[in-house]
Copies of this chain bind each other. A is one copy, B any other.
Amino acid sequence: MLKLTKKADYGLIALKYLAEHPETPAVSAKDVADTYGIPPQLLAKVLQRLTKSGLLRSHAGMNGGYSLAQDARQISAYEVIHSIDGPFFITSCVKGAKPCELTPSCTVREPLARVNETIAGVLKSISIQDLAEQEPHTAAHGGDAQGLVSLSAHGTE
């Protein structure tokens, strides 16, 4: 149904939190979980995966916890989501594995693959820093999705 998992949500929330507290050397999972009412162990697991992906740095022991391994500006929402939920694809079939059993089945696949890329581009253009700052002047920040998106609300529905 085209929505993020809670894990990804939690991950973004946590990273945003870390970006907002650059002074603190390390923030524990429990800390963040308490603040936002997130199940601690679940968040812990999410943060662990982000650590393995190199987005976070962990520190065990008392007063330990997590801290950003990169500048908040360098971490994109895409990386976070990808790291937590794995590679996402709009269509179910485009996985490199077997292409849809039924041969002509995925004639829609190709155009949708481009939609997929576009979405990925959007996500890549959003950094954790963007999340931390309330105002989204977004775009024109980072990456390779130059001018691809103008995040102006054009409430068509």
Contact = CB atoms under 8 A, between A and B. Distances in A.
Interface of A: 1-6, 9, 12-13, 16, 35-38, 77, 81, 85-86, 88-92, 101-102, 104-108, 110-112, 114-115, 117-124, 126, 130-131, 134, 136, 138, 143-145, 148-151, 153-157
A126 to B, nearest CB: 7
B118 A122 contact: yes
Among A16, A143, A148, which residue has the most Cβ atoms of chain B within 10 A?
Answer: A148
A101 B131 CA distance: 20
Contacts of A115: 77, 122-123, 126, 151
B111 A3 contact: no
B136 A92 contact: no
A141 to B, nearest CB: 12
Contact of A9 (B91, B122, B126): B91
Given A5-B1, A91-B4, A108-B12, A156 B144 contact: yes
A134 B109 CA distance: 10
Contacts of A37: 101-102, 105
A7 to B, nearest CB: 10
19 contacts: A3-B91, A4-B91, A13-B107, A36-B102, A37-B101, A37-B102, A37-B105, A38-B102, A110-B136, A111-B136, A114-B136, A114-B151, A115-B122, A115-B126, A118-B122, A118-B151, A120-B156, A120-B157, A121-B154
